Amino acid sequence: MTELEQLRRAMRATERPYPEDLDLTVIMRDGRRLRRRRRLVGAGATALVTVLVAGGVGLGVRWARPPAADRPPARAATVPGATPPATSPPSPGPTRWRPPQQPIGEVIDTGIRYGVDQRVYYLVAVDVPEGPRVRVGLMAGRRTPAGELTNDIVINDVQGSDRRPGFHEIGYDDTTPSDARPPVPTFGYFVGPATRIVGTAGGRQVDARLARWSTDPELVVFWFDPVDLTPGVRLDGIVARDRSGRLL
């Protein structure tokens, strides 16, 4: 018997019977709830998005109005009839639409360019019914020279607090790249005094680019340059260090 056959055989030999404990009632109930949320997201073209949730069930998230003090002056441009990204993973097609609300705080320019457009990240207000302490999500978008924003992917927590110390959700772009929408670099945010964030992928360490959120400097937005880490490639690990190199 070859070693591969040994491995295959061992994987099957250690199977345990899983007979009657399958709770189909709960599974189907939760599945219906999830389906309803997805429908709600699909139907609410004016105000709803679905988020990519790493490791959790995708939950409908409603755009919420940010505090007036955080709202920048309204811009004139609008895109009538356009729809927001409404599926998980996010729809790959162009989703140039005017968000109902503006970014909270300053828009972060990554320095990544697609022609004249910039890759930008910005915090947006979200309303998660199951997570009352989750009020913001992180949006990956693009900005035209005229300042018009295109939303690509939003990530946010679905429970707990959006300011919990440590790493929050990581945004991966799983869609097929197209001319209409360039791939979104892997991104996320960390809450705490991080000055360096290093991811590991395929045994290789990759430094993230960092920027602090203007509204709350404890919130550190990070992203991986697509040259260093191909968008969509999963990280095997990630760590944050403070100014003295201490692991956070």
Partner 1 sequence: MARGDAEFVEFARSASGRLRHAAFLMTGNHHQAEDAAQTALVRTYASWSRIRDEDAYGYARTVLVNHLVDGWRRPIREYPTDDLPEQRRGDVADDVATRRWLLDILGALSARERAIVVLRYYFDLPEAQVARELGVSLGTVKSTGSRALQKLRATGTPATQGTGR
* Residues near partner 1 (CB under 8 A): 3-4, 6-8, 10-18, 22-24, 26-28, 30-32, 34-35, 38, 54-55, 57, 167, 170, 172, 174, 202, 232-238
The answer to whether the CB of 188 falls within 8 A of the CB of 169 is yes
Distance of CA 11 to the CA centre of its chain: 34
| Structural element, H or E, at residue 7 | helix 3-13
Q: Which is nearer to partner 1, 104 or 154 (CB)?
A: 154
Q: Which is nearer to partner 1, 21 or 244 (CB)?
A: 21
Q: Which is nearer to partner 1, 143 or 181 (CB)?
A: 181
DSSP state of 161: B
In the complex, least distance from residue 210 CB atom to partner 1, rounded to whole angstroms? 18
In the complex, least distance from residue 11 CB atom to partner 1, rounded to whole angstroms? 5
Q: What is the dihedral of CA 231, 117, 123, 211, to 10 degrees?
A: 70
**Spatial distance between the Cα atoms of 60 and 89, rounded to a whole number of angstroms:** 13
In the complex, least distance from residue 94 CB atom to partner 1, rounded to whole angstroms? 22
In the complex, least distance from residue 187 CB atom to partner 1, rounded to whole angstroms? 14
Q: Which is nearer to partner 1, 59 or 112 (CB)?
A: 59
> What is the token pair recorded at 209?
């680019």
